[in-house]
Structure 1
Amino acid sequence: MAGTILGGGLGFYVMHRIETSYKARRPPPYPMEERLRRYEAHLLAKEKEAQQLQDEGRREDQAQVLPDS
């Protein structure tokens, strides 16, 4: 019984040390405002790309309907 308690305590201590060591090496997360700004920029870029593809599709459709003479 004492071995179980000591083993549990030792396991907890080792896992605690590993966790604190990992957190110390990891860079801090972006602030929420920075993450939101990056996400909005990403969405705007995707929207612009989709609009360009849609415009190109319209141009191709018009070229097929009205061929050059």
Structure 2
Amino acid sequence: MAPPGSRRWAYVRVMAGTILGGVLGFYVMHRVETSYKAMMEERLRRYEAQMLKRAKDAQNLQDEAERKDQAQLLPDA
């Protein structure tokens, strides 16, 4: 059987490793989450800009079609 001092040292190493591993894991997950959040915010900004552009393009097409319809209804005198 191992001497009592080495058993105590083993317990200390296990507890220290558990605590340090938990801290390291928390830090890594925190960094992953913050970088993911920043990436998703940028992606959302690009998506919203694209949707606004599509809406403007659709409105321009609709306005152009209405102008053509009115031009056909009201011939030049």
**TM over 0.5, shorter chain:** yes
Amino acid at match of 1:36: L
Query: In the comparison of the two structures, how many residue pairs are matched?
Result: 42
Partner residue in 2 for 1:48: 56
- Sequence identity percentage: 62
TM-score (norm 1): 0.56
Task: Give the unaligned 5+ runs of structure 2.
Answer: 1-34
- Between structure 1 and structure 2, the one with the greater Rg is 2
CA RMSD of aligned residues (A): 1.8
Task: Give the unaligned 5+ runs of structure 1.
Answer: 1-27
Paired residue secondary structure (1:31): helix
**4+ long deviations beyond 6 Å:** none
Aligned equivalents of 2:41 and 2:53: distance in 1? Answer: 18
Whose helix proportion is higher, 1 or 2? 2
